[in-house]
Structure 1
Amino acid sequence: MTVQDPDVVATSGAESAAVDSPRAGQLGLAVRTPAEGVTVVGVSGEVDMLTAPQLRAESLRHLDAGSTLVLDLSGVSFLGSAGLAVLVEASQHAKRRDAEFRVVAVARAVTRPLAATGLGGVFSVFESVEQALESHESR
């Protein structure tokens, strides 16, 4: 059995492909504003009890009155219950502020928890950021 130090990142071999992705306990967030009042937050890595507070803070920060937040979870490799709670809170926050909250979910790691909990029917879920933005333009 081989034990690998979690603080060591492989620089060669099969494991080196993951160097650019967030490490365990870290969350990658990329924020862009494609139009006035529209923010897309690209999320990568694992959304669990360690990283959910960071996602929560970033999500709620972009939900202003009348705004649209697209949470792109296409880079998420794990979505735990703490992450699902963040999505519920962001959705509720958006409703209170008359804002739009949209989720992009394509990976099984995200779609399966959404389907298993029934939350896939609660949020506006799209297969791409482009679809979520087109939905914004048509309202």
Structure 2
Amino acid sequence: MVLGVRGDIDLFSAPVFHEYVCTQISPEGQFILDMSKVDFIGTAGLSVLDSVHASNLRDGRHWAMVCGRPLYRLLRAAGQESSYPCFPSVDSALGAWHGRTA
């Protein structure tokens, strides 16, 4: 499953972002969160990603993110660029999964 997100993720939209992701993912399935069309993401959005990441690790669910420039910049500024399963495209995320299961 690929979940697409676009626009700005700030203090006001972060709760909606969190609800969207949590209600769309299947408890037993893997998914890709495509953030390539996000124009801005603030620290409130990073808190949501922390929560989603922790939940997925706890539940043993595989996931990946497609990160655009705003998200890469935030992760780099926070010193967390290697904390998440980030990929430049959906195809590269799928390729990593295929390589892991092959």
2-structure distance, mates of 1:93, 1:63: 12
| Aligned 8 A contact 1:126 1:132 in 2 | yes
Identity of aligned residues (%): 29
CA gap of 1:63–1:123, structure 2 versus 1, over 3 A, is farther
Residue of structure 2 aligned with 1:64, choices 27, 34, 39 = 27
Q: Counting helix residues as a fraction of each chain, which structure ranks higher?
A: 2
TM, length-normalised to structure 2: 0.88
Question: Greater RCO between the two (CA within 8 Å, min separation 6)?
Answer: 2
| Aligned 8 A contact 1:102 1:126 in 2 | yes
2-structure distance, mates of 1:131, 1:42: 16
2-structure distance, mates of 1:70, 1:81: 21
Equivalent residue pairs, number? 99
2-structure distance, mates of 1:69, 1:86: 16
Aligned residues: CA RMSD: 1.3
Equivalent residue, structure 1, for 2:95: 134
2-structure distance, mates of 1:104, 1:118: 18
Equivalent residue, structure 2, for 1:89: 51
Shift of the alpha carbon at 1:137?
2.4
2-structure distance, mates of 1:132, 1:53: 26
Note the 1:36-47 alignment, pairs <5 A: 39-47=1-9
Equivalent position amino acid for 1:91 in 2:
H
TM, length-normalised to structure 1: 0.66
1-structure distance, mates of 2:33, 2:57: 15
Shift of the alpha carbon at 1:101?
2.2
Spell out, residue by residue over 1:85-128, the C-alpha distance to the aligned partner (whole angstroms, 9 max, x if none): 01110000001110012111132x11110111122211111000
Equivalent residue, structure 1, for 2:41: 79
Unmatched runs of 5 consecutive residues or more in structure 1: 1-38
2-structure distance, mates of 1:119, 1:43: 20
